[in-house]
Structure 1
Amino acid sequence: MQELLVHDIGSTDPSVEDIRDAAGKEHSRHFPRKVDAERWEAASRSAITRGDWTDPARAKVTVGIWAAQWLEAQVQLKPTTRARHGVALRRQVLPTWGDMPLSAISYAEVSAWVQRLTASGLAPATVRYAHRVFSMILGHAVRDGRISRNPADGVRLPRVLREEPVFLDHAQVAALADACEPYSLLVRFLAYTGLRWGEMSALRVGRLDLLRRRVNVAVAFSEVRGQLIEGTPKSHHRRSVPIPRFLVDALAAHTSGKAKDALVFTAPNGGPLRNTNFRPRFFAPAAESVGLTGITPHDLRHTAASLAVAAGANVKAVQRMLGHASAAMTLDVYADLFEDDLDHVAERLDQAARQGADQMRTGTSPDTVVDLFKRKTPGR
């Protein structure tokens, strides 16, 4: 804990208080009255005791300067996340806060900023993302001892209305795949494995284990400012994904003769597939031709989840298949798919309750029934 030392800077000026922190640095304040100086000294001592005391000079740095330092320090970020943070800073955060010192930011002002962004017509998800980035910047300042608390904490945010995911059935998947030639196998592969687009486009032949019917997902492509960058999958989670048996022969024929480091699926020119090209050129026309206008390649990931659940997969299996960080995340997106599980639970409870009621009426119990069966017939 820091130690606060109060010095009398000469008896000729009793309205000046000076404190010295544990590092030996002096902090002086001038007040018009002695009583104000004493109150400041008392408040400073109280803040030291609570661990809330901060050097006012360090809070004078502007948000613009501090945001640049914060972003530079986030070495764990994936390129796509860093780029998204940069967009939020340039478009929403810095125009309002860039020239303002950290010490001047208040909860009320952050709340008003969120209200203005919402009133401007920005999507709720965009407003929430901008607030999240700003809050992380301020939280970094709290941890660095520049401000005592985060003024963005607890600010009310607009509600995001989640769009209902699109689920195709087996017949729709088959129709879409047939219409999407020469990428029929790719459509089926996405619809029955649930890989993300970046994971599929970065998949190399050596990551396919067709004997065990597994896809080893270890890398993914992300597109940043028009450049494809190869990195780890989302949440940095590697995983092994099952391949349905009916796809194995097609994948074997498709990859026959290819080197282990060759991409499994490629663009017509042999390079990596880009969703920005594939969707308008191949996927969207195929979807429209079979009456599925508006669906996207990502909807095939939702489809994989729904088909897996319909086949009997539990939430933990679906989580592992999709590479979600937790089963809670899987349920957050696909809770409705598991409604049948709740029906089964209700049916079992109903059967158990009826059985218990019957036993109460007959005065028997499971143990009594067992004993009756074990009892020998007299005379034998």
Structure 2
Amino acid sequence: MSTHKLKGLKGNGYQARWTDPAGSRRAKNFKTKAEAQRYEAEMTTAVRRGEYSDPQAGKAKLSSVYENWKASSVGLKPKTKASYDSLWTCMVQPVWGNRSISGISRSAVKTWISESKSITGKTVSASRMKQGYVLLKLLLDHAVDMNLINRNPIQSGSRSGKNLLPRIEVQKQKRALEKDELLALANNSGEYRLLILVAGLLGIRWAELVAITPEDFDFKKKTITVSKSLSEISGRFELVTPKSGKARILPLLNILEKNLKAICLATPEGEPIFKSRKGGYLRHSNFMKRVFSPALVKANVRHITFHELRDTAISQAIASGADVIAISRIAGHANPSITLNVYGHLLKDSMGAIQRALDESYADMNSGNPSGNQQLPSAS
């Protein structure tokens, strides 16, 4: 490995020479000796550290990386794939699709984020921009794995990846229904009264709820197994695993048991217990327009989303004194930290109830009077 001065037919300037990890001799020409020496040192160091990538490979377009990444990303759910396709088409591809990988810089990405435009030219929300950035980062990480570049210029945790993302707007506080509001909403939902109660008392997600079949119930053990989810993409339905990727078991409440047993007996095995009026899977958009929104008006309940029935169930579980691990399992969160992040404000609000319960439990203890008959246990 050395720097050589070019003469004659080779032209003027200097040539950096190095050996790649495969043992092949490589070279690149520069106008000045300093440039050649600097580049040669960079290549030599990259080979020694195992970070070498073919300089010519960096000319590959990001669009080719996206296709390779999609083909190799096995295990993605249909809805997740559709989400990535939307982000690529509307956010990433218009700006970066025809760019060479090596030509994507931190400063250019920073400008893209500050402008926050979609393919239509309209400004997108900070959360949508963050999703686009995450996809771009995934693709650049994949380019590193493909040995097209030796590092991701926007790698998180490095200097290059700092302060790129826009500040996400404060998420509005979740709105949980009171018990009487939940009952009023259910009573005004017609034939879907039971569906509303199951969602509001057990916190089952919409996609999981409309996929439940009779065999998911064990009336002897009084449990419901949530093992599948119905993904709806561009009008098509597909059964997939729950959001966490794992099945979970929920308690079958006495208040629901009689009606759920009746509907299970009336539903053939393998068919959803909550169906559309035509007998097929329930579509979220149709249900919201034809059942849920009118029921909110009739019940005189402030507007909420269907997902806030899940928040209602979880907030009631917290108010009842259930611990965070039990709540996390019922909610189907991958780990308790998610429960704490999403519902931490409710757990904080429950501290007063816990304090009162403990005070009542130990009210007969005279811990402040050494001469009292009842003493707190010794620590020794």
User: Identity of paired residues, percent?
Assistant: 28
From 170, 190, 206, the counterpart of 2:199: 190
2:151 to 136, 146, 149: 149
Radius of gyration: which is bigger?
Answer: 1
Q: Distance in 1 between matches of 2:39 and 2:281?
A: 64
Q: 1:252: which partner in 2?
A: 261
Q: Report the Cα offset of residue 358 of structure 1.
A: 6.4
Q: 111, 116, 134: which is aligned to 2:136?
A: 134
Task: Indicate if the aligned counterparts of 2:212 and 2:273 stay in contact, CA closer than 8 A.
Answer: yes
In structure 2, do the counterparts of structure 1 residues 104 and 10 end up closer, same or farther at CA, with 3 Å as the change threshold?
closer
Residue of structure 2 equivalent to 1:52: 51
Consecutive unaligned residues in structure 2, runs of 5 or more:
155-160
For normalisation by structure 1, the TM-score amounts to 0.86
CA distance in 2, matches of 1:247, 1:279: 23
SS of residue matched to 1:56 = coil
Cα separation, 2, equivalents of 1:148 and 1:345: 54
Equivalent residues of 2:3, 2:14 under 8 A apart: no
- Matches of residues 53-132 of structure 1 in structure 2 within 5 Å? 53-117=52-116, 120-132=122-134
Q: Secondary structure at the match of 1:156?
A: coil
- CA separation of 1:110/1:185 partners in 2, compared to 1, >3 Å: closer, same or farther? same
Seen in structure 2, the aligned counterparts of structure 1 residues 366 and 322 have a Cα distance that, compared at 3 Å, is closer
Does the residue aligned with 1:161 lie in a helix, a strand or coil?
coil
Equivalent position amino acid for 1:150 in 2: N
Question: Equivalents in 1 of 2:100, 2:263: separation in Å?
Answer: 59
How far residue 81 of structure 1 moved from its aligned partner, in angstroms, is: 0.4
Runs of at least 5 residues in structure 1 that lack an aligned partner in the other structure: 371-380
Match of residue 274 from structure 2: 265
The alpha carbon displacement at 1:7 in A equals 8.4
Q: 1:207 to 1:367 in 2, by over 3 A?
A: closer
Q: Distance in 2 between matches of 1:191 and 1:233?
A: 18
Letter of the 1:215 partner, please give it: I
Asked whether 1:290 is paired with 2:299, we answer: yes
Q: Does 1:279 align with 2:288?
A: yes
Give the structure-2-normalised TM-score: 0.86
Q: CA deviation at 1:303?
A: 0.7
| Kept after mapping to 2: 8 A contact 1:203/1:264 | yes
Across the two proteins, how many residue pairs are aligned to each other?
Answer: 360
Deviation string for 1:301-348 (max 9, x for gaps)? Answer: 111101111222111111101100111111111112112453467777
Q: Which of 216, 228, 234 is 2:225 aligned to? A: 216
Q: Matches of 2:366 and 2:41 in 1, distance apart?
A: 72
Among 316, 319, 322, the residue aligned to 1:310: 319
AA partner of residue 329 (structure 2): R
Following the alignment from structure 1 to structure 2, what is the Cα–Cα distance between the partners of residues 164 and 100? 41
| Structure 1 letter corresponding to 2:68 | Q
Q: 1:357 to 1:120 in 2, by over 3 A?
A: farther
- Distance of 2:222 and 2:336 partners within structure 1: 24
SS in 2 for 1:234: coil
The structure where helix makes up a greater share of residues is 1
